[in-house]
Amino acid sequence: MAKIKLIEFKKIPSTNDYLKENYEKLPSFTFIRTDYQTKGRGQFERKWLSANAKNLLLSFMLKDIQMDQIIIIKEWVKSAIFSTLGSLGMDVYFKEPNDVYVNDKKLCGILMETKGSGNKFDYVIIGIGLNVNQIIFQNFKATSIFLETKKVQNVSGIMSKLITNLLESYF
């Protein structure tokens, strides 16, 4: 099983950006979690808005990855998220290119960013924004684990389950 490094913040601009800015000095399997992001984003630079300390805002980095592994990595991350949410009794599905839905509402977004050349990525950074206990959402149809299950969840407990599922199924 891979050895992980977990760094937690109360507030930072972006968990993905933190890893990109520090990737040279951080090992593979470094996880960054924060209570709040001031510049959270999804695909195509869309803003990812999240209530403070209500959701799982987590990014992690893999280093020295063969480029042909990227589809496997996406499936691995999806599988770990599905397993984590399934353990809470949730029936979720994936909506391309990078969202997890339940009952026709967005529950989770995944943002994968890479840097590399030739046939190898220097890094693959996977950002996961999972709505856990948030109640009010702006603009689009979104939901949270709380709204779907009517049970307040421990965000750290969800993170631990997700990281365990990632590590146990690492390819």
Segment 140-170, tens digit of pLDDT: 799 999 999 999 999 999 999 999 999 998 8
**pTM of the model as a whole:** 0.94
Domain span at 53: 5-168
What is the CATH classification number for the domain harbouring 78? 3.30.930.10
| Residue 151: predicted pLDDT | 95
- Pairwise CA distance, residues 74 & 76, whole Å: 5
- Mean pLDDT, rounded, for 90-97: 96
| Residue 31: predicted pLDDT | 98
- Mean pLDDT, rounded, for 114-129: 95
Any idea which residue has 């959270």 for tokens?
40
| Residue 92: predicted pLDDT | 98
- 164, two tokens: 């365990």
- Mean pLDDT, rounded, for 22-35: 97
| Residue 117: predicted pLDDT | 85
Q: How many domains does the chain have?
A: 1
CA distances 146 to 51, 154, 160, Å, are 13, 10, 18
| Residue 170: predicted pLDDT | 86
CB 128 within 8 A of CB 81: yes
Band the pLDDT of 43: cuts 50, 70, 90: low
Q: Supply the mean pLDDT for the chain.
A: 93
- Pairwise CA distance, residues 72 & 10, whole Å: 32
Any idea which residue has 């631990």 for tokens?
160
